[in-house]
Amino acid sequence: MLDVRNLIVDSFKMIGEVGDQEALDGTRSTVGLQMLNELVSQLNLDNYFAFTLQNVIFTPTTSNSTYTIGVNTGSAGTSATDINADRPANIIRAYVRSSGSETTDYELEQVSPQDLPLFTIDGVSYRSTYPLGSLDFNCQLDTNQDIIFIYSKPMPIFQFNDVAEIPYEYEPAIKYGLSYLLANRYGNPVEVISDMKRLRDEAYQIIVQNTQAKTPAVVHFNHGMGNRNIKNM
């Protein structure tokens, strides 16, 4: 569990901007929270939080080449979503299989929207538009096919008094990452900025080695999927 208030206070203490017995003022609280949310948003885009990986299975009810994705709240603009799931920042992998089958038939190639019409093999492009994302295919999907896609559910925007459900092993990376941003923001000495960057990089590397190494993209890369691997695009 991550206590947002304590994390921000600790980050300021690490760079010497707040003493051990000193409370945060309103300005530092606001700046710390803003920079924390900017940091987490960037880590969301980088798929850093492997514990948020989601598998969604979608069986089309109509044959189309474009489907929208987003939480169906029933309000204007979201009530017509095709896939009722959190709107992803990006799609990590996508597969096709026959409906009801336990195994996938093949993996869809992920390409940019402008390149999608150029592909002769089955491909998909994801556009992270708001409030609904869009999955575009270069062919009409059949209603007897399941589409399986994997994405990281984005961590939400934090409030100052939140206690977030984040595994403990991620907290050092977030704290040191925030400390590094704050050290730069407040013009701390070069030595302090360098120390925060080193601690951040070490914490990030631990995550890459022990957590991201188990995400689908890296698993496929390690098993030599050749040109169908997202890392070879």
Q: What is the DSSP string of the chain?
A: -EEHHHHHHHHHHHTTSS-TTPPPPHHHHHHHHHHHHHHHHHHHHTT--GGGEEEEEE--SS--SEEEEE---SSTTTTT-SEES---S--SEEEEEETT-SS-SEEPEE--TTTGGG-SS-EEEEE--SSSEEEEESSPPPTTEEEEEEEEPPPPPP-TT-EE---GGGHHHHHHHHHHHHHHHTT--HHHHHHHHHHHHHHHHHHHHHTGGGSHHHHHHHTT-GGGSGGG-
Whole-number mean pLDDT of the chain? 81
Whole-number pLDDT of residue 106: 79
Q: Is the pLDDT of residue 225 over 50?
A: no
Whole-number pLDDT of residue 184: 94
146-190 confidence digits (pLDDT tens):
888 888 887 888 998 989 888 888 899 999 999 999 999 998 999
What would the mean pLDDT of 102-124 be, rounded to a whole number? Answer: 77
What would the mean pLDDT of 42-62 be, rounded to a whole number? Answer: 85
| pTM score | 0.71
Q: Is the pLDDT of residue 197 over 80?
A: yes
Lowest-confidence pick of 48-52, 186-190, 193-197: 48-52
